[in-house]
Amino acid sequence: MTRDNDRPMKAIILYDSRTSGGSTDKLIDMIGQQLAESGAYVEKAKCKATADYSFISEFDVVIMGAPVYYLVVSSQLVGALVQSNLRKCLKNKNVALFVACGSPEPLALTFYLPQLKIHMIRNRILAEKVFAPHQMGDPDSVADFVEEIDEAYQKTFKPRASDLEWSSEATEMLNQMPPFFSSKIRAALESYAKQNGIKVITPEVLDEARSSPMGF
Ligand SMILES: Cc1cc2nc3c(=O)[nH]c(=O)nc-3n(C[C@H](O)[C@H](O)[C@H](O)COP(=O)(O)O)c2cc1C
């Protein structure tokens, strides 16, 4: 998960929950861990309605979410969007949104997620997700969300002009892989090719990189 293939994505998770050590805390840890495993730099911050959010300027992606209590998304996050400088600091940021709740997804998409979305005025929403109770400890559900963020984030960059060429066979191989996986392989192979003075990436380069002692 790199920006222009040379800098790790920096993500901040802004969240709220009434319950310390509850399902949201566990969900946040899982999202953070999966993002970190995919190469991102991640921090998390529990929201306060009146805090100063200027620190989010240093992050590429802001992930925001909270549970629903009595039909309302947890108050410190929504409060921060209304009362603090959070909304101003979010201007033109890439964001991802989630809510955790006990209601069925269609209901949550209609009534709960919009409570966050309505504040996203000049934002690119990379992903949005409703986590039902059974999904909150489920690594696959979290992985879907993390992958969606990653793929949408990668698309925010134009391909960089490169000295490297890809043979049609190597391009074909890459196209057959899932996008989340192929973007990692592309970045790793280009890095390997640069380190080894290779100008054209072919399937043989892939084999060579795989068997190299450094791996890739
Ligand atoms: C007091 C209370 C009120 C809740 N109200 C709603 C609700 O109105 N709609 C809903 O879908 N889920 C509701 N839930 C379910 C929570 O959103 C869900 O269990 C969430 O995962 C709790 O997060 P937490 O463990 O971090 O507190 C409520 C839960 C509690 C404890």
Residue-wise pLDDT for 129-150, tens only, equals 999 988 888 999 999 999 999 9
CA dihedral of residues 169, 6, 216, 139 (deg, nearest 10) = -100
Q: What pLDDT score does 2 carry?
A: 47
Architecture category of domain 165-211 in CATH? Orthogonal Bundle (1.10)
With a 6 Å cutoff on the Cβ, whether 65 touches ligand 1 is no
Closest atom of ligand 1 to 67 CA is 17
Å from CA of 207 to ligand 1 middle: 50
159 DSSP assignment? P
Nearest C-alpha neighbor of 63 from the set 83, 39, 84, 40: 40
Place of tokens 């201007």: 91
Q: If you write DSSP's letter for every residue of 89-156 in order, what string do you get?
A: HTTT-EEEEEEE-SS-HHHIIIIIHHHHHTT-SS-EEEEEEEE-GGGTT-HHHHHHHHHHHHHHHHTT
Residue-wise pLDDT for 44-86, tens only, equals 999 999 999 999 999 999 999 999 999 999 999 999 999 999 9
pLDDT higher than 80, residue 213: no
Å from CA of 66 to ligand 1 middle: 10
Q: What is the pTM of this model?
A: 0.77
With a 6 Å cutoff on the Cβ, whether 107 touches ligand 1 is no
Architecture category of domain 2-154 in CATH? 3-Layer(aba) Sandwich (3.40)
pLDDT higher than 80, residue 160: no
Domain definitions of the chain by residue range: 2-154, 165-211
Q: What pLDDT score does 193 carry?
A: 86
57 DSSP assignment? G
> What is the rounded average pLDDT of the residues 168-181?
86
Does this chain's domain 2-154 share its CATH topology with 165-211? Answer: no
